Copies of this chain bind each other. A is one copy, B any other.
Amino acid sequence: MSSSEFQLRPIGWVRSPLVTLADAPRQGDEGGSDAELVFAAEFVDGLKDIHVGETILLLTWLDRAARDVLVVHPRDDATRTQLGVFSTRSADRPNPVGLHRVVVSSIDGSTIGVSDLEALDGTPIIDIKPTLGPVSER
A residues near B, CB below 8 A? Answer: 1, 3-11, 13, 26-27, 29-30, 38, 40, 43, 45-50, 56-57, 59, 61, 63, 70-71, 74-75, 83-89, 93-95, 97, 99, 122, 124, 126-130, 132, 135, 138
Contacts and interface: CB of A to CB of B under 8 A. Distances in A.
Contacts of A85: 46
16 contacts: A5-B8, A5-B9, A6-B10, A8-B95, A11-B94, A46-B86, A47-B86, A48-B87, A49-B83, A49-B87, A50-B84, A75-B138, A86-B130, A95-B126, A95-B127, A97-B97
B13 A1 contact: yes
Given A94-B127, A97-B97, A135-B29, A84 B6 contact: no
